[in-house]
A and B are shown apart, each in its own frame.
Chain A
Amino acid sequence: MKEKQFAEMVFVLAKKQGFDDCEVLVSNHREFEVVVSKGKIENYTDASSKRVTLKAVKDKRSSFATTEILDETSARFLVESAYENFMITDTLDEDDIWAERPAKEPFEYEDAFERLSVREKIDLAKTMEEKCLSYDKRIQNVIMSGYGHQRSEIWLFNTKGLELSESFGYGAAFVYLVASDGKKPKRGFRAMYGSHPNEVNVEKVALEASSEAISQLGAQSVKSGKYKVLLRRDVFAQLFFAFSSIFSAEAVQKGLSPLKGKLHQKIAVESLNLIEDPFFEKLPIKRSFDNEGVPTVRKSFIDHGVLTTFFHSIKSARKDNVKPTGNVFSQRCVPLNVILPEGSLGYEDLIKSVGEGLLVIAFDGLHSGVRPVSGEFSLGANGYRIAGGRIVEPVEQFTVSGNFLDVLQKIELIGSDCEIVSANWFGPSVVVSELDVAGS
Chain B
Amino acid sequence: MLEISLIEKIIDYGVSKGADFVEIFVEDRFDTRITLIDGRIDSASSERDFGLGLRLFKDDQQVYAYTNDPTEKQLLTMLDRLIEVLQIKSAEPKTVNLMNLDVKNSHTIILNPLEVSKMEKAKIMKLAYEGAKNYSDLISQVVVRYWDYDQKVFIANSEGTMANDRRIKTRLMVTAVASKDGEQESGFYGPGASMGLEFFNFHDPKDIGTEAARIADKMVKADYAPAGKMPVVIANEFGGVIFHEACGHALEATSVAKGASVFANKLGQKVAADCVTAVDDGTIPNAWGSSNIDDEGIPTQRNVLIENGVLKSYLVDRFHAKKMNTKPNGCGRRESYKYIPTSRMSNTFIMPGKYLPEEIISATDYGLYAKRMGGGSVHPATGEFNFAVMEAYLIEKGRIVKPVRGATLIGKGIDVINNIDMVGNDLARGQGMCGSISGSIPADVGQPTIRVKELIVGGRKR
In the bound complex, do residue B63 and residue A44 qualify as a contact, i.e. CB atoms below 8 Å apart?
A: yes
In the bound complex, do residue B382 and residue A143 qualify as a contact, i.e. CB atoms below 8 Å apart?
A: no
Which of A65-73, A129-137, A154-162 is near enough to bind chain B?
A65-73
What is the CA–CA distance of A368 and B432 in the complex, to the nearest angstrom?
12
Query: What's the least CB distance linking A383 to chain B, in Å?
Result: 13
Residue total for B at the interface (Cβ-Cβ under 8 A): 83
In the bound complex, do residue A440 and residue B456 qualify as a contact, i.e. CB atoms below 8 Å apart?
A: yes
A115 at interface, CB cutoff 8 A:
no
Knowing A87-B118, A256-B143, A368-B374 touch, does A141 contact B384 (C-beta < 8 A)? no
* B64 cross-chain contacts in A, Cβ below 8 A: 43-47
Contacts of A36-89 to chain B: CB distance below 8 A? 37, 40-50, 62-69, 74, 77, 81-82, 84-89
In the bound complex, do residue A85 and residue B118 qualify as a contact, i.e. CB atoms below 8 Å apart?
A: yes
Query: What's the least CB distance linking B453 to chain A, in Å?
Result: 15
A373 at interface, CB cutoff 8 A:
yes
Q: How many A-B residue pairs have CB under 8 A?
A: 246
Knowing A379-B386, A399-B410 touch, does A143 contact B183 (C-beta < 8 A)? no
* B260 cross-chain contacts in A, Cβ below 8 A: 141, 143, 178
B137 at interface, CB cutoff 8 A:
no
Knowing A47-B338, A373-B177 touch, does A74 contact B406 (C-beta < 8 A)? no
In the bound complex, do residue A45 and residue B340 qualify as a contact, i.e. CB atoms below 8 Å apart?
A: yes
Query: What's the least CB distance linking B346 to chain A, in Å?
Result: 21
Knowing A369-B386, A438-B458 touch, does A224 contact B67 (C-beta < 8 A)? no
What is the CA–CA distance of A85 and B44 in the complex, to the nearest angstrom?
5
B201 at interface, CB cutoff 8 A:
no
Contacts of A204-232 to chain B: CB distance below 8 A? 221, 224-226
In the bound complex, do residue B61 and residue A373 qualify as a contact, i.e. CB atoms below 8 Å apart?
A: no
In the bound complex, do residue A46 and residue B65 qualify as a contact, i.e. CB atoms below 8 Å apart?
A: yes
* B85 cross-chain contacts in A, Cβ below 8 A: 41, 44, 46, 118, 122
A254 at interface, CB cutoff 8 A:
yes
* A37 cross-chain contacts in B, Cβ below 8 A: 258
In the bound complex, do residue A397 and residue B408 qualify as a contact, i.e. CB atoms below 8 Å apart?
A: no
Knowing A66-B48, A88-B118 touch, does A48 contact B406 (C-beta < 8 A)? no
Contact of B377 among A64, A118, A367 (CB under 8 A): A367
* B67 cross-chain contacts in A, Cβ below 8 A: 47-49
In the bound complex, do residue B456 and residue A69 qualify as a contact, i.e. CB atoms below 8 Å apart?
A: no
Contact of B259 among A64, A77, A141, A255 (CB under 8 A): A141
Contact of A368 among B86, B228, B375 (CB under 8 A): B375
B66 at interface, CB cutoff 8 A:
yes
In the bound complex, do residue A376 and residue B406 qualify as a contact, i.e. CB atoms below 8 Å apart?
A: yes
* B285 cross-chain contacts in A, Cβ below 8 A: none
Query: What's the least CB distance linking B419 to chain A, in Å?
Result: 14
B62 at interface, CB cutoff 8 A:
yes
B376 at interface, CB cutoff 8 A:
yes
B345 at interface, CB cutoff 8 A:
no
Knowing A85-B46, A380-B386, A380-B410 touch, does A255 contact B141 (C-beta < 8 A)? yes
Give per-residue flags for B140-164: 1 if the beta carbon is below 8 A from chain A beta carbons, else 0.
1101000000000000000000000
Q: Chain B residue with minimal CB distance to A436?
A: B460
What is the CA–CA distance of A369 and B386 in the complex, to the nearest angstrom?
8
Query: What's the least CB distance linking B462 to chain A, in Å?
Result: 9
In the bound complex, do residue B458 and residue A186 qualify as a contact, i.e. CB atoms below 8 Å apart?
A: no
B461 at interface, CB cutoff 8 A:
yes
A396 at interface, CB cutoff 8 A:
yes
Which of B33-41, B203-211, B265-273 is near enough to bind chain A?
B33-41
* A440 cross-chain contacts in B, Cβ below 8 A: 228-229, 456
B106 at interface, CB cutoff 8 A:
no
A320 at interface, CB cutoff 8 A:
no
Contact of B407 among A143, A186, A378 (CB under 8 A): A378
Q: Chain B residue with minimal CB distance to A35?
A: B437
In the bound complex, do residue A187 and residue B458 qualify as a contact, i.e. CB atoms below 8 Å apart?
A: no
Knowing A85-B46, A90-B41, A401-B460 touch, does A365 contact B82 (C-beta < 8 A)? no
What is the CA–CA distance of A436 and B462 in the complex, to the nearest angstrom?
9
A185 at interface, CB cutoff 8 A:
yes
* A16 cross-chain contacts in B, Cβ below 8 A: none
B243 at interface, CB cutoff 8 A:
no
B68 at interface, CB cutoff 8 A:
yes
B51 at interface, CB cutoff 8 A:
yes
In the bound complex, do residue A254 and residue B37 qualify as a contact, i.e. CB atoms below 8 Å apart?
A: yes
In the bound complex, do residue A226 and residue B410 qualify as a contact, i.e. CB atoms below 8 Å apart?
A: no
What is the CA–CA distance of A69 and B179 in the complex, to the nearest angstrom?
45
In the bound complex, do residue B46 and residue A66 qualify as a contact, i.e. CB atoms below 8 Å apart?
A: yes
* B386 cross-chain contacts in A, Cβ below 8 A: 364-365, 368-369, 379-380, 399
* B459 cross-chain contacts in A, Cβ below 8 A: 378, 401, 436, 438
B186 at interface, CB cutoff 8 A:
yes
In the bound complex, do residue B456 and residue A88 qualify as a contact, i.e. CB atoms below 8 Å apart?
A: no
B198 at interface, CB cutoff 8 A:
no
* B91 cross-chain contacts in A, Cβ below 8 A: none
What is the CA–CA distance of A220 and B19 in the complex, to the nearest angstrom?
48
A439 at interface, CB cutoff 8 A:
yes
* A373 cross-chain contacts in B, Cβ below 8 A: 177, 184-186
In the bound complex, do residue B43 and residue A42 qualify as a contact, i.e. CB atoms below 8 Å apart?
A: no
B349 at interface, CB cutoff 8 A:
no
Knowing A88-B34, A369-B386 touch, does A141 contact B381 (C-beta < 8 A)? yes
In the bound complex, do residue A43 and residue B44 qualify as a contact, i.e. CB atoms below 8 Å apart?
A: no
In the bound complex, do residue A399 and residue B456 qualify as a contact, i.e. CB atoms below 8 Å apart?
A: yes
* A396 cross-chain contacts in B, Cβ below 8 A: 384
* B410 cross-chain contacts in A, Cβ below 8 A: 364, 380, 397-399
Give per-residue flags for B344-387: 1 if the beta carbon is below 8 A from chain A beta carbons, else 0.
00000000000000000000000000000011110101101111
Knowing A84-B118, A254-B141, A401-B460 touch, does A65 contact B45 (C-beta < 8 A)? yes
In the bound complex, do residue B41 and residue A91 qualify as a contact, i.e. CB atoms below 8 Å apart?
A: yes
In the bound complex, do residue A65 and residue B118 qualify as a contact, i.e. CB atoms below 8 Å apart?
A: no
A92 at interface, CB cutoff 8 A:
yes
In the bound complex, do residue B406 and residue A81 qualify as a contact, i.e. CB atoms below 8 Å apart?
A: no
Contacts of B63-88 to chain A: CB distance below 8 A? 63-68, 78, 81-82, 84-86
In the bound complex, do residue B338 and residue A399 qualify as a contact, i.e. CB atoms below 8 Å apart?
A: no
What is the CA–CA distance of A358 and B411 in the complex, to the nearest angstrom?
19
* A41 cross-chain contacts in B, Cβ below 8 A: 61-63, 85-86
B193 at interface, CB cutoff 8 A:
no
Q: Chain A residue with minimal CB distance to B70?
A: A69
B119 at interface, CB cutoff 8 A:
yes
In the bound complex, do residue A46 and residue B384 qualify as a contact, i.e. CB atoms below 8 Å apart?
A: no
In the bound complex, do residue B388 and residue A74 qualify as a contact, i.e. CB atoms below 8 Å apart?
A: no
In the bound complex, do residue A256 and residue B406 qualify as a contact, i.e. CB atoms below 8 Å apart?
A: no
25 A-B residue pairs with Cβ-Cβ distance under 8 Å, sorted by A, are A37-B258, A44-B64, A44-B82, A49-B338, A65-B47, A68-B48, A69-B50, A88-B44, A89-B41, A92-B40, A118-B84, A185-B381, A185-B382, A224-B227, A256-B143, A368-B377, A369-B408, A397-B411, A397-B456, A398-B458, A399-B458, A400-B458, A401-B224, A401-B458, A440-B456
A-B complex: 10 closest residue pairs judged by Cβ atoms: A399-B458, A368-B375, A438-B227, A380-B386, A81-B46, A85-B44, A365-B386, A378-B408, A64-B45, A44-B63
Chain B interface residues (CB < 8 Å from chain A): 34, 37-38, 40-51, 59-68, 78, 81-82, 84-86, 117-119, 121-122, 140-141, 143, 177, 179, 183-186, 224, 227-229, 255, 258-260, 262, 338, 340, 374-377, 379, 381-382, 384-388, 405-408, 410-412, 435, 437, 456-461
* Other 7 A-B pairs with CB < 8 A, given A66-B47, A88-B41: A46-B78, A50-B68, A141-B258, A255-B177, A365-B388, A399-B456, A440-B228
Chain A interface residues (CB < 8 Å from chain B): 37, 40-50, 62-69, 74, 77, 81-82, 84-93, 118, 122, 141, 143, 178, 184-187, 221, 224-226, 254-256, 258, 331, 364-365, 367-369, 371, 373-374, 376, 378-380, 396-401, 436-440
